[in-house]
Amino acid sequence: MSKYDGLDPRKELEQKISSDLKSAFEKRGFTVKHNGTEDSPAPGGHPDIELWTNNVQIGVEVTISTKSSSDREMPTITAHLNEMKQKNPAKSCYMIYASPETHYRMINGLMDYNQSKKSDQIVIPIKFSTLELLLDRLSTSHKSLYPEKQITRVFTRHNEYINDDNVLRIIYEELFPTDTNLKKDIENKEALTHAEIEQNLFNDLKTIENRLRESGIATATRAVSNMIYLVFVKLYEEKMENENGKNYFTSKNFTEFQEAQGQKKTKKAIHKLFEQIRDDPEFQASKLFTKTDVLAEKLDDDFVLKEVITPLEKYRFYVTKVDGLGAAYEVLALRSSKDTRVGQFFTPKHVVQFMTKLAELESTETVLDPACGTGRFLIWAMDEMLSKVSGKDVDETKKTIRETHLFGSDFDPNVAKLAKMNMYIHKDGKTNIWDDDGLLLYKTRNLDNTIDVILTNPPLGKMNYSKSPEYDDDFYKRMTVIPRNEGNITGTVMKGGALFVNACKYYLKDVRDQNAPLEWRGGKLLTILDEGILNTDDYRDTRSFIRRNFYVKAVISLTTDTFIPVSKTPTKTSILYAIKKDDPTAIQKEPTFYGYASKVGIDTKKRPCPNHLLNEDGKDLFTEYMKFKKLVLSCYGADGFNQEKFKEVGWKAGNLAED
């Protein structure tokens, strides 16, 4: 609630907002005028409030309308702004639409309007609580702060006005970026909102998939494939809109596209739209799509408008944290009885973020995820690497990272396609993602001794190591973790993590950094393992393999609740961070960091909770690990790591959790 909620719209609301605008803007050189009186609102034909300088004209339209009842405001807002621009052609003209909350249909309408105009004629939706915060900050700040040019930068980001929360974030980033309390409030609120949105989205996608089946349009896996294609069309069109194109996956614009394609009678415009996207040379080159990717023949525009576009219009996937493709995968997993494997494909965000930070990626490194699922590790790794690019030819360096430094594989073609889609939406359409068996990349992709860093969450359950004809003699010679009796292979299954650790040893470089301390020179492995691999007799040989071939840097035990939000089942797992040895006979001298995270940022109901892995208050495992690493490195001498010195310096373990 804000102080504007509950005010009489005829006698108090405009008057109070006008008064607050005067306090905030007049000392910054603006003239502020309320077009009503002390006892009545502004009459029709004029904005409720106007403020201006020699360079800028801003109208303010105030309403108490919410939800669908706000639809009637759209013609008034745009008419006022058009008239303002006609009267002030040399000025930048903006309109503030202030209401208790902005309905998604109003958001969509304003985005269409803003898209059709130049950047100096924009409407911004601001909910009352955000407007109150903005005006209070400006009113109580020195007049030299937040000058006109800084304030108007908020209007330049109109492509991001996708909901009220994002508008607040834009205002924070452009005007109050040093306010850590505001940032934390925004992030906490966004986390709650997005958790609710993603659950609603999952339910809506499940309904869409059901309707595809019930209507006889598509059955079995084809229903899921069609739903994924349609979700990608929405993402693609939102991306085009953000890049100043047109979004044809809205009720209004899709009808326009249908008419332009001459599909008003045949009602197959959705096929035309998908085919245009599918046949993009970039997608064909990266094999994201092939000509065999088609929508179900029975799918028509009426169904798409009613059952897909309309229910999904309230969501904005692009430039938000709403993971539309991730939700689509959850539906896919539900339908294909893969619930217990979802954790492999859909690792919780905070775990991915922590592991990526722990890897301390450099922009020059190559990164592989041999069991990439929907591509979350690759997306976070790409963002981390791009953030470290500097110097000359920044754009070319970033292009090289996107196209040649990131590799992923998933045995499931549908999931590999989702990963490619995800990477494209994150500004990479050509990343090397393959629908290959991640244990065979030495054979299919020649990856031995080529990778700097592996970030992965391989299958947590058991895998059959005898099922594939590709598992030949060379494969079994490499896979020394597979149990044997007098040299003969026994059994048929073992935990996927053990098999992947064995495979990753070969993919990683023997020497990643020749100048690093002895136990830090090789390729880095950061993987999630079922804890049975780390502490049961059945996997004693796997642990010996790890000690023989890797320096173990850290083992972070995760709560059994970690994967419940996505897999619905408790699984005891740990994060293993290890660096490949270039001399398997060398014995590790450095100590290993051990930690336990009882909370990982999301609870079993998909609600935000404390994050013991990585947070901003410095009381987290990442911060403690970095202190530990610094201490370890300080104990190196001419002969390598000095254990006695480390004992003298000492390391005190602690309990970070306070709840």
Lowest mean pLDDT among 147-161, 367-381, 605-619: 605-619
Structure tokens at 4: 């504007």
Percent of the chain with pLDDT over 90: 66
pLDDT of residue 438: 96
Report how far Cα 290 is from the mean position of its chain's Cα atoms: 26
Residue 341 to residues 132, 250, 338, 371, Cα–Cα distance (Å): 47, 34, 5, 12
Mean pLDDT for the stretch of residues 310-334: 75
Distance CA 137, CA 347 (A): 39
pLDDT of residue 567: 67
pLDDT of residue 321: 61
Distance CA 571, CA 353 (A): 20
Confidence of residue 658 (pLDDT cuts 50, 70, 90): very low
Residue the block writes with tokens 């202190």: 627
H-assigned helices in 9-127: 13-25, 73-87, 104-116
Distance CA 619, CA 656 (A): 6
Lowest mean pLDDT among 62-71, 79-88, 305-314, 451-460: 62-71
* pLDDT score of 566 more than 80: no
Instruction: Specify whether the CB–CB gap between 548 and 588 falls below 8 A.
Output: no
Residue the block writes with tokens 């040893």: 505
Distance CA 315, CA 413 (A): 27
* pLDDT score of 341 more than 50: no
| DSSP letters for 492-539 | SEEEHHHHHHHHHHHHB-S-S-TTS-GGG-S-EEEEEEETHHHH-GGG
Confidence of residue 241 (pLDDT cuts 50, 70, 90): confident
* pLDDT score of 339 more than 60: no
* pLDDT score of 124 more than 60: yes
| Helices 128-140 & 164-175 angle (0-180, nearest 10) | 10
b vs e for 562-599, b when ≥16 Cβ sit within 10 Å of the residue's Cβ?
bbbbbbeeebbbbbbbbbbbeeeeeebbbbebebebeb
What integer best gives the mean pLDDT of the chain? 90
Confidence of residue 468 (pLDDT cuts 50, 70, 90): confident
Mean pLDDT for the stretch of residues 476-486: 94
pLDDT of residue 655: 66
Residue-wise pLDDT tens digits, 2-29:
999 999 998 999 999 999 999 999 999 9
Give the DSSP H or E segment for 198.
Answer: helix 180-214
Distance CA 96, CA 125 (A): 6
Return the domain boundaries, the chain: 13-178, 186-335, 339-614
pLDDT of residue 335: 60
Confidence of residue 319 (pLDDT cuts 50, 70, 90): low
Determine the length of the chain.
659
Residue-wise pLDDT tens digits, 33-49:
999 999 999 998 889 99
pLDDT of residue 338: 47
Instruction: Specify whether the CB–CB gap between 305 and 211 falls below 8 A.
Output: no
Give the DSSP H or E segment for 580.
Answer: strand 573-580
Kindly calculate the radius of gyration of the chain based on its CA atoms and give it in whole angstroms.
28
Confidence of residue 601 (pLDDT cuts 50, 70, 90): confident
Please give the CATH architecture assigned to the domain spanning 13-178. Answer: 3-Layer(aba) Sandwich (3.40)
Q: How many helices and strands in the chain, by DSSP H and E?
A: 27, 21
* pLDDT score of 659 more than 50: no
SS3 of the chain: helix, strand, coil, percent, to 5: 50, 15, 35
Max Cα–Cα distance, the chain, nearest Å: 96
Mean pLDDT for the stretch of residues 271-295: 90
Confidence of residue 333 (pLDDT cuts 50, 70, 90): low
* pLDDT score of 296 more than 90: yes
Distance CA 119, CA 636 (A): 57
Report the DSSP pairing between strands 573-580 and 550-558: antiparallel
H-assigned helices in 55-157: 73-87, 104-116, 128-140, 148-152
Confidence of residue 427 (pLDDT cuts 50, 70, 90): confident
Structure tokens at 46: 């004029």
Confidence of residue 244 (pLDDT cuts 50, 70, 90): confident
Task: Please state the φ and ψ torsions of residue 446, each to the nearest 5 degrees.
Answer: 55, 50
Confidence of residue 320 (pLDDT cuts 50, 70, 90): low
Please give the CATH architecture assigned to the domain spanning 339-614. Answer: 3-Layer(aba) Sandwich (3.40)
pLDDT of residue 191: 76
* pLDDT score of 540 more than 90: yes
Structure tokens at 312: 């999904």
Residue-wise pLDDT tens digits, 429-455:
667 999 999 999 999 999 999 999 999
Burial bucket for residue 422 (CB in 10 Å: 0-12, 13-18, 19+): buried
Mean pLDDT for the stretch of residues 379-406: 92
Q: What is the 3-state secondary structure (H, E, C) of 411-430?
A: CCHHHHHHHHHHHHHCCCCC
Confidence of residue 336 (pLDDT cuts 50, 70, 90): low
pLDDT of residue 322: 65
* pLDDT score of 83 more than 60: yes
The pTM (predicted TM-score) of the whole model is 0.81
Cross-strand bridge partners of residue 451: 508
pLDDT of residue 573: 94
Confidence of residue 343 (pLDDT cuts 50, 70, 90): very low
b vs e for 107-142, b when ≥16 Cβ sit within 10 Å of the residue's Cβ?
bbbbbbbbbebeebbbbbbbbbbbbbbbbebbeeee
Answer left, alpha or beta for residue 263, where phi above 0 means left and psi between -120 and 50 means alpha.
Answer: alpha
Instruction: Specify whether the CB–CB gap between 322 and 201 falls below 8 A.
Output: yes
pLDDT of residue 454: 98
Percent of the chain with pLDDT over 70: 95
